[in-house]
Structure 1
Amino acid sequence: MRNEVKFFGLFLIFLLGITKGLCQYSFSGHISDSTSNKMVYLSVIEDYRKMSRTSLEQIIRKTETDSTGFFEFKGDNLLSESRIYKIHIDECSETMDSSHFFGDCKNAKNVFFIANVNDTVFFPTTFNDEIFCDISSTNPNSILLLNIDMLKEEMIYDFAEFRSEANKNLNSKKWFKKFQEYGRSLNEPLAELYIYAFLSDRRNEIYDYYLRDIQENPYYTELFERLLAKYPKARFTQLYEAEILTDKQISAQEKSNHFSWIWILSLILVFSLFINIFLLFKQKKLKRQQQNTELQQLTQQEQKVVSLITQNKTNKEIAAELFISVSTVKTHINNLYKKLNVSTRSDLKHRF
């Protein structure tokens, strides 16, 4: 079944190619069911930040499916330069309500592709009646955005496998590099712009990595040069230039704020350290003063006993050292307990 659909698509492209002088472009396809009169919209993407919804200012044509589910846009009213186009189908009514134009409709389907006024593009259904999963086109660049969407799915899976911050940082570095290298290899700045719109989307969890990357990576400036060389007057080139300049300023400001906070925190820590050292020395000084005051209240013999106790001498050793009896040593110790308001030998040693 799929081969037959492919053959039909290629045959249609051949026939339309023969009549190219009458109809310069043709974008056509089948939807999954055969219900007629479903509205299909064709948009040209000049503002890549409005890809996720059906923007009124970007819609250029609309048509209805026939009884077999077939639709077609054809004519000569497109630009000769390549552009990103979007074909969009949903089940909203034509009442211009907000859900219709903000992508909130049920069963909405869309596809992005690259084409110009001379291209014939056909969207076949797959073997299980899925739409917008394949493209047959006279322009080999038409399918690039579908290939990029497949890479996005791989990236999302990588991020979802482990939700840790470490995994997020590693995957951000890996996938930014992979997308940028792949974009360069395509030799089509529009495809790179499609990648950029995804990587720099503020709603993505990788946006903080993008702000760091744009500050350090020359890729973004190089992409602007490629856009300027191939699409110098396009609105999206101007938007991209303004956006990277703004984002670089935001990134530089955040980096500056980050370093400012580091300096502030460092100063607070250093100040705290000095305060603690000062308080420690002050506490030791007060303790020494208190010890000296307490020692002055003691007799010389009692001071000698205190000194020997702090050296872990026994009563017998103290008696031998001072040439007094053990009972006299005990008397001195009892007097010390009363004068210093302590009750054990350990308290006495701790005091001094």
Structure 2
Amino acid sequence: MTSVVLVAVIVLVVALDFTNGFHDAANAVATAVSTKALPMRPALALAAVMNLLGALAGTGVAVTVASGVIANPGEHGVAGGLRVVAAAVAGAIVWNLVTWYFGLPSSTSHALIGGLVGAALVSATSVHWAGVLDKVVIPMVVSPAVGLVLGFLVMTAILWLLRKADAHKAGRALRRAQIASVAALALGHGLQDAQKSMGMIVLALVVTGHQIGYGVPLWVVLTCAAAMAAGTYTGGKRIMRTLGRRIFQLTPPYGFAAELSASAVLYTTAFVFAAPISTTHVITSAVMGAGATRRRSAVRWGVAGDIATGWVLTLPAAALTAAAAYFVFGIG
């Protein structure tokens, strides 16, 4: 029976990875599609491939998610531990679908962490609060701020470097450069987001005694990478419109600056700090920062405020949804 439940949990995690792919595909390609650097389908195909490669590039974030949120996942037995993991994933999936429906660029990462905390609390499972603070809450606040400032600085540098260049030629060159920057951003997304799902599968394997320690098996890496790549290729047009047009009307220089800035933040947090940050938060704030170099009123701060509200609600909303799912999974 335990093996059946474990398989069901893994399937649920794969479903989360798929929704993460189509939900967050906008993060990687909205800027390039909006500036006409790439058509929609080729952009999604490029993002899918780079997401796949990014997922294979490291496991530090996966270990953080598996070991840094719940202090003792098996303290209430195997069935209780699996129920916590399943409820956490269900909470994240529901929040992904809700925010996708309304076209809000929210964070799958924080939905998953919020779901894990919510399920742990209602099950009386110990939460590693120091880990949540250091590896989730602080990076959640700091990374968008860094993305905003970096986007502003990079765009300022580009404007200065191109101050004497022919606008038409510079735009064409930067449109081509966006192909590289969007690939880098998609790689960073795979490096960050696929690892969080890997961490949930590892957590389930540890709870059931199928492995000791929090190393990530190759089959887990490949499964999560493939699911995210498949989800990415299906696209997420609702969120794409918000990120590509509603915040700020992007042109190639601004898109390139935002993508480059966001990629730098993603790589630094994954490789240096092994912190699970939100690709959504970083690219959105980088777009705002780049756009603010034109003039502050060029950024639609009202739309940005709606997005920020979604960010703030993600952790508690996913936690409550996961708590409800924990009780539903216990029926019968």
TM-score normalized by structure 1? 0.21
Greater fraction of residues in strand: 1
TM-score normalized by the length of structure 2: 0.22
Structure with bigger gyration radius: 1
